[in-house]
Amino acid sequence: MKPELHRAVPVAEIGPSGLDSMVEASPAECAALARRMGVPAVLSFCCRFHLVRTVGSAVAARGRLLASVVRTCVVSLDDFEIAMEEDFRVRFVPAGTETDNPDPEAEDEIPFAGAVIDLGEAAAEQLALALDPYPRKPGAELPESEPSSRIRH
């Protein structure tokens, strides 16, 4: 299955000083990302990458995600728009060479096959990680609960 946002970059194009690349989603790709992420809408989405080849065939990447996403508030059930900005680091590694590092602070590893990495899928994965699982519209308050009444016998 082809990902919603596919941007292939041959590892050979990453020179000694690295490579800067930007992934920007079209309106159709934003709609497909919204379906995948289970959100009402992705209004805009772009991700900037700086890639550097490391030991072996691995590629280190620094990135910045910028998006405008419509979410549904878990309190009021109203839709609301949020602006997202996230900096991240990942490593692209040849498939089969991933480590089993349980450290949550370690850089995520994204396996790739052949000599091409997919920055579009990596950007989509970063969006998924950045989405708050319990979005709350600014100002949304939980209703006050009524005190439980005492049971009389």
β-pairing, 79-94 vs 108-112, is: parallel
| Kind plus residue range of the DSSP H or E element containing 71 | strand 59-72
pLDDT, residue 103, reads 74
Residue type present at position 59? V
Tens digits of per-residue pLDDT, 107-153? Answer: 888 999 888 999 999 999 999 999 999 998 988 777 776 655 555 55
In this model, does residue 87 exceed pLDDT 70? yes
pTM over cut 0.95: no
pLDDT, residue 118, reads 94
CA distances from 6 to 2, 29, 92, 103, 118 (A): 7, 9, 15, 29, 6
Tens digits of per-residue pLDDT, 39-58? Answer: 999 999 999 999 999 877 88
In this model, does residue 1 exceed pLDDT 80? no
The sign of the CA dihedral 114, 1, 88, 17 is positive
Residue 138's Cβ-count burial label (10 Å; 0-12, 13-18, 19+) is: exposed
Tens digits of per-residue pLDDT, 90-105? Answer: 999 988 888 887 777 7
Cα–Cα distance for residue pair 125/102, rounded to 1 Å: 19
pLDDT, residue 56, reads 76
Torsions phi, psi for 79 (to 5 deg): -80, 145
Tens digits of per-residue pLDDT, 50-85? Answer: 999 987 788 999 999 999 999 999 988 999 999 999
